[in-house]
Amino acid sequence: MISSSRLRLPEPIADALGRLADRYEALALGRFAFAERPQAAGRLLVLLLVGHVLVWTLQPWLSHENLADSVDMVENWVWGQEWRLGYWKHPPFFAWVTAAWFAVLPRADWAYYLLAATNAAVGLAGIWALTGRVDASPRRRLVAVAALSLTPIYGFLALKFNANAILLSVWPWAAWIFLKALDTRAARDGALLGLLLAVAMLSKYVSLVLVVGMIAVVLFDRDRWTLARSPAAIAAALVGLLAFAPHVAEMVATDFRTLAYAEHQTAESVGQFLNYLVRLPFSMLLFLAPMVGALMVALPRDQWRALARPFAVEAGDRPRRRVLALGLVPFLATCALGAWKWAKLSSQWGFPLMFTASWLTVTAPGVDERRLRLDRLALLVAVVWAGLLATAPLADLAGVLTHTKVHTEPRAELGREVTRIWREATGTRLAAITGTFDLSHNVAFYSPDAPSVLIEYDWLKSPWLSPASVAKTGILVVCAGDDAVCAGEAIRLFGDGLVAREATVSKSWFGMRLKPLTVKLFLRLPPAGA
């Protein structure tokens, strides 16, 4: 048996850590004592949400020269500007949000980061609202929201705005109105619940697991049959189905293309599926580690052990049981759905599932709400924010020096240059574009003409375009220099009368020209006088 003395830190290290803790304590007391004032929680929440948006807009803007490597973000906009009831991969809501956002703001990287950060902050506000239905302590709720805001889920990972990220904001608000409808049983609350659940399903079909969680809450309640027959339940079902019905009609009209895409996201072997199944919960634990650390900072050491009981429910604690079901049942349902469909359980599926994790941890039996220290947590948030902003330019420098695509690829520059070439050749705006997947989508997003995209040369994936419309407006094909398939498809689809061009562009970084990018262009010119 190992002696406990062997587990102790060496005395010099223990003394150094003790002095560091004392200095931290003194700084928290001296600079953030205002956080401990009565009635401060509401103001602190506003400060937290506004600060979160500012920091997570500035951090990526200062540390990146482009949007994320993933094409998801520009793909959202390509879909959204067409305002369809559904797209070939996903239902439409998050694409509509993107299109609406850029109808007001310029198509610039900073504006997209602002959208992603605002989406995360709306989700955090939703967590504050839903916990307000079951918790009378603003202090505890604020600690829960602040601790969760420090996780990568609401920071770095939320920056890639897509079908998963939109659920960070939608699910907490749907859970809030669900808890309210359980208490009031009013038709108006049920109608709003149905609408928000339709929005969730119109964002991503995996939102069905949240509906399963809500059904579980009702079934496990002692008033289950009264709740199931209440005006709220009836209104939720009617409004939800009515709001989702147009998308169902679109699915039928397109031969359920979105479901077909989901069917292809399956594991290739038993080993690969088990790897995803095991990796999902472990990745969530890793992503939530900063949350646990923040709660440990906010609590004295003798309270830390209680944090290990987030799933414990004391007898008669009906509200906590409901929130636990909303957090646990959707996670289990996600795993079950993955097993049924043999799906690749991406860690991104787990992001929206974690919205109850922080509150369940800080309200675990044995945690004394009176001993939570808002001043220490406020200092931690301030230190993290300052660190993120201070290191952002260094991250940008490192990316430029190592020639990563997200720092050196001239995407915006290519969009402007391609548009210039088209306008000079035709005298008209660029109305349609196709070619290599990532290049065509990025050119469309950054082009001043905002052209429609023929996705992967597929008319079915791009029902907003047709051979007839392209024959009238013309189309530009942009191919990576080494993409022979792209050039072959252009000739196959548009004939051999294409006008060939070449464009070379590079990004400028503080006056220094970065690695150039050369692309091949093929122009199907519009008819003369068109």
Into how many domains does the chain fold?
Answer: 2
- pLDDT of 10 > 90? The answer is no
484-528 residue pLDDT tens: 899 899 999 998 789 999 999 999 999 899 999 999 999 999 987
In a domain, 30, yes or no: yes
Strand partners of residue 504: 518
Token code pair at residue 477: 């094909």
pLDDT band at 4 (very low <50, low <70, confident <90, very high): very low
Token code pair at residue 220: 């496990």
Strand partners of residue 524: 475
Same domain, 427 and 302: no
- pLDDT of 266 > 80? The answer is no
Q: What would the mean pLDDT of 7-11 be, rounded to a whole number?
A: 71
Same domain, 155 and 261: yes
Same domain, 349 and 460: no
Same domain, 288 and 175: yes
Same domain, 366 and 455: no
Q: Which of 387, 419, 440 is the last residue of a domain?
A: 387
Strand order in the sheet with 475-480: 452-453, 432-435, 475-480, 517-524, 499-505
In a domain, 42, yes or no: yes
Run of H or E including 504: strand 499-505
Greater model confidence, 405 or 6: 405
Token code pair at residue 320: 């906590």
Same domain, 451 and 495: yes
Residue position matching structure tokens 């829960």: 144
Same domain, 382 and 413: no
- pLDDT of 220 > 60? The answer is yes
In a domain, 472, yes or no: yes
In a domain, 181, yes or no: yes
In a domain, 74, yes or no: yes
Domain region containing 98: 13-387
In a domain, 35, yes or no: yes
In a domain, 340, yes or no: yes
* Amino acid present at 299: L
321-357 residue pLDDT tens: 999 999 999 999 998 888 777 777 788 888 999 999 9
The pTM of the full predicted model, rounded to 2 decimals, is 0.94
HEC secondary structure over 33-85: HHHHCCCCHHHHHHHHHHHHHHHHHHHHHHHCCCCCCCCHHHHHHHHHCCCCC
Q: What is the chain's mean pLDDT, rounded? A: 92
Alpha-carbon distance of 465 to 454, in angstroms, equals: 7
pLDDT at residue 530, as a whole number: 52
Q: What are phi and psi of 103, to 5 degrees?
A: -75, -20
Alpha-carbon distance of 143 to 372, in angstroms, equals: 8
Same domain, 326 and 440: no
Same domain, 423 and 321: no
Q: For 299-393, list the strands marked E by DSSP.
A: none
Q: What would the mean pLDDT of 311-315 be, rounded to a whole number?
A: 86
- pLDDT of 263 > 80? The answer is no
pLDDT at residue 27, as a whole number: 86
In a domain, 81, yes or no: yes
Half-sphere exposure of residue 33: CA atoms within 13 angstroms, side-chain side: 5
pLDDT at residue 52, as a whole number: 98
Same domain, 338 and 413: no
Q: 15: buried, middle or exposed (CB in 10 Å: 19+, 13-18, 0-12)?
A: exposed
Same domain, 375 and 413: no
Q: What would the mean pLDDT of 37-53 be, rounded to a whole number?
A: 93
Q: What are phi and psi of 476, to 5 degrees?
A: -110, 135
Same domain, 432 and 501: yes
pLDDT at residue 7, as a whole number: 54
